Chain A
Amino acid sequence: MRSWSIHRPGSSALHRANPLTKLAALLLLAALLFVLPWPGAWAGTLLLLTAAFGLHIGGVVLRRYLVLATPFLIAVFIFHGLIVDRPDRMPLAAFLSYSQEGLTYAAVLGGRISLMLAGSLLFVATTHPAALLRSLDVARMPPGLSFLLASPLLLIDEFTKRAGAIRDAQQARGMRVNTFSDRLRALRLLTLPLVTLALADAQERSGVLNARAFRAFPRRAVLSPPPDTALERRLRHALVAASVLLVGCALWLR
């Protein structure tokens, strides 16, 4: 398991669904934000978080949701409910005031972000990056794209280790971080070796990719494509069409 991953293996319908289908569902979720009133967005969030528990990924999804959403929610409610100057404001104390309108606006923004966050987390927790990349290859996306998504994910842990080693080495050599100019110098001492190594890696790897015929053809075969069915393909098209329709209506009716 890689350090950054919140993917949890499983066999639920959501786990088994083709990653592209799940992406299309996320698109629909984003389109819904245009039309859903704020109580709907919050209800949707609750629904998705509950669903996560049904899929046995509730713990990891809820924890991540709280870590990411809480600071934003606090900030948005305080800022719009208590600070921003609005026509209906009622002074409380010092620069604080109470605004019903502001609180509602905070609920609208908070609901939208919450819903998108919950949806994205469900996607990430049930989709292994490798499956997403294979499905991109199968969908005939340029192989360069899936490489650019895969390669950083694979290299993060390696580079984190290296950055740590460089830091230890420079500290052992007596690198100081007291004054401002110390820190600037330290920054250079830390980044130069990291970037030099990275460029050496990049150069060697581009040789490896060419040697293994990467992008020799516009498409590549995929040894074990993620499962996909005609029904799912039709569902995907429907989801995309519905998203376009929703956004279109929302903009037209506005």
Chain B
Amino acid sequence: MASSTTRLFETRVLSLIAVAIVINIVGNQINDLVRLPIFLDSIGTVLVGVLAGPLAGGVTGLLTNLILGLIVSPVAAAFAPVAIVIGVVAGLMARAGWFRTWWQAAVTGVVIAAALTLVAVPIRIYMFGGVTGSGADFIVGYLSSVGQTLFSSVALTVFGTNVADKVITALIVWALVRQLPQRLTAGYGHLQYSRA
């Protein structure tokens, strides 16, 4: 289709990002039923990273948190950089071919958790003093009370609470991408890097 403006994203990617943001927000509710000790709030972000690349993945993360900031809690907006990193790293790992097999996806999950820890820790410490009012605060408190520094308490907590979540998220996205009908994924060029 002839286009008269230069655009960052094709419209098909734009509408993909929009539904992915909703999947992120609704993912939480699915987890209410399954009751795994994970967040399940970045399936959409990782999915977009795999289907449409790091930039689109990062934008999905950013806007998810901005919208959560608008409708749930402004605190979510403060953690938008973390969500960006999840999408960007998922996209880069997919680009490098690390989403082809299940074990590669699992490794990608660990890499995502490590990368987001780098960004989440300074935000948590400098803006929130290390705690955010969630259950994870107990772990931070425990680690501090047994002699860890604030920095390492927070870093260990963030990585520890995220690694299972991100590995499971990456595995789910890996399984999804293999099962989706070709009719629905045909337009997303970045997927070629994740085909086994």
A adjacent to B, CB under 8 Å: yes
A 207-221 to B, binary, CB cutoff 8 A, 1 in contact else 0: 001100011111000
* Residues of B13-40 contacting chain A, CB below 8 A: 14-23, 25-27, 29-31, 33-36, 40
Contact B23 A198 (CB under 8 A): yes
Verify if A172 is at the interface (C-beta below 8 Å from B): no
Verify if A116 is at the interface (C-beta below 8 Å from B): yes
Given known contacts A206-B14, A215-B7, A216-B4, A200 and B184 CB-to-CB distance under 8 angstroms: yes
CB neighbours of A120 from chain B (8 A): 69, 74, 77
How many whole Å from A202's CB to the nearest CB in chain B? Answer: 4
Which single member of B26, B168, B181 contacts A159 (CB below 8 Å)?
B26
Which single member of B4, B36, B146 contacts A187 (CB below 8 Å)?
B36
Which single member of A116, A152, A187 contacts B18 (CB below 8 Å)?
A152
B 3-14 to A, binary, CB cutoff 8 A, 1 in contact else 0: 111011111101
Closest to A196 in B: B180
Verify if A251 is at the interface (C-beta below 8 Å from B): no
B 51-95 to A, binary, CB cutoff 8 A, 1 in contact else 0: 000000001000110110111111101000000000000000000
A20 to B72 alpha-carbon distance, docked (Å)? 21
A186 to B30 alpha-carbon distance, docked (Å)? 10
Which single member of A75, A95, A167, A215 contacts B145 (CB below 8 Å)?
A95
CB neighbours of A195 from chain B (8 A): 23, 43, 47, 176, 180
Contact A192 B19 (CB under 8 A): no
Contact B17 A85 (CB under 8 A): no
Contact B150 A72 (CB under 8 A): no
Which of B105-113, B114-122, B126-134 has 4 or more CB atoms under 8 Å from chain A? B126-134
Which of A35-43, A55-63, A105-113, A234-242 has 4 or more CB atoms under 8 Å from chain B? A105-113
Verify if A233 is at the interface (C-beta below 8 Å from B): no
Given known contacts A153-B71, A191-B30, A199-B185, A183 and B180 CB-to-CB distance under 8 angstroms: no
Verify if A12 is at the interface (C-beta below 8 Å from B): no
Given known contacts A152-B21, A159-B22, A201-B19, A217 and B5 CB-to-CB distance under 8 angstroms: yes
Contact A163 B132 (CB under 8 A): no
How many whole Å from B171's CB to the nearest CB in chain A? Answer: 8
6 contacts between A and B (CB under 8 A): A68-B73, A120-B69, A151-B21, A159-B22, A191-B176, A217-B4
15 further A-B contacts with Cβ under 8 Å, apart from A144-B8, A160-B29, A206-B16, are A76-B129, A76-B133, A105-B129, A117-B73, A144-B7, A151-B18, A152-B21, A183-B34, A183-B35, A186-B33, A187-B40, A192-B176, A203-B184, A214-B11, A215-B11
Instruction: Name B's A-contacting residues (CB within 8 A).
Output: 1, 3-5, 7-12, 14-23, 25-27, 29-31, 33-36, 40, 43, 47, 59, 63-64, 66-67, 69-75, 77, 127-134, 137, 140-141, 144-147, 150, 168, 172, 175-176, 179-181, 184-185, 187
